[in-house]
Structure 1
Amino acid sequence: MILVVLFTVGLGRVTEAQMLAETAAGSAARAASLARSADQAVAAAYATVDADSSMSCPHPNVIVDTSAFRPGGTVAVTVDCHPRLADITGVGFPGTIQISERMVSGIDTWRQADAP
């Protein structure tokens, strides 16, 4: 019975971390797409992910792609999460796993942006 509970807790952590990474990547991409410059987009994405991080995904790795940052372009954010599972490894979970989510947000075609 204890193994079933630990297995359920492990699956819950993985699911929560995956949902957190997906939500953080989407929110960060949207925040970055509203910025006026590529540098501001990167800062906005990092700030958004920092605000969304939790114990299920401590210290997420954030990659912001601003190569198409221009009116009508896109900005992409990838969030890599490593949920901790070491305390429940008795049921066969590795110490950590990697969850990666990538979201892309469009930049308004008719708005002004600072030069790159």
Structure 2
Amino acid sequence: MTRHTSWAAVAWLRRWWAAEHGSVTVEAVLLAPMLVMLLVFLAVVVHRGVDARLRLDDAAHQAARAATLQRSTPAAATAARQTASSALAQAGLVCRDVATTLSGTLTPAAVVTVRVRCTVDVGPALLLGVPGAKTLEAAASEVVDTYRSQQPAGATP
């Protein structure tokens, strides 16, 4: 190719590029739906995370309340675990494993704290089937009723 031909090609390319009227509009029309889908996808992911956190907080609160209604620490731990599992199941939050930890005493006016730990599988939440899991933890405290009756000495719960 001669030097004259290459200059002619460059000049033609410049004229063609300058004659591209409306190309930005076409690009915007083609890219806008993709950007909207990306924003919707992010909104769904954020909503699922916030929703799971709220449901776990509620399950921890229910478990703490169930624990304060019991008379012994083993019964309180069992009630907390069962209540947390059933609350999460009713809320539709699917956990791989649910662990509850109970702290505090069951004496009147004492504070009982229950921590609920749940590993949530985030793959089914997304249309793309992205694998992964997120471990969430929530804690709730409840006060044991001040005027609850005491167990008689020597009585078994």
TM-score normalised by the chain length of structure 2: 0.61
Give 3-state SS (helix, strand or coil) of 1:6's partner. helix
Q: Could you report, residue by residue, the CA deviation over 1:12-35 in whole angstroms, capped at 9, with x for unpaired residues?
A: 211111011100000110110011
| Structure 1 pair 113–47 and aligned structure 2 pair: CA distance change class (3 A) | farther
Find the partner of 1:10 among 32, 45, 48.
45
User: 1-side partners of 2:45 and 2:68: how far apart?
Assistant: 35
Find the partner of 2:148 among 90, 102, 111.
111
Cα shift at 1:94: 7.9
Q: RCO greater where, 1 or 2, for CA within 8 Å and sep 6 or more? A: 1
| Percent of aligned pairs with the same amino acid | 27
- RMSD (Å) for aligned C-alpha atoms: 2.5
- Which 5+ residue runs of structure 2 have no aligned equivalent? 1-35
Q: Greater CA deviation, 51-60 or 16-25?
A: 51-60
| Structure 1 pair 56–2 and aligned structure 2 pair: CA distance change class (3 A) | farther
When Rg is computed on C-alpha atoms for both structures, the one with the higher figure is 2
Cα shift at 1:39: 1.2
The one-letter code of the counterpart of 1:50 is S
User: 1-side partners of 2:74 and 2:150: how far apart?
Assistant: 12
Q: Which has the higher helix share?
A: 2
How is 1:16-95 mapped onto 2 (pairs within 5 angstroms)? 16-54=51-89, 55-58=92-95, 59-65=97-103, 67-86=104-123, 88=126, 95=132
- Which 5+ residue runs of structure 1 have no aligned equivalent? none
TM-score normalised by the chain length of structure 1: 0.79
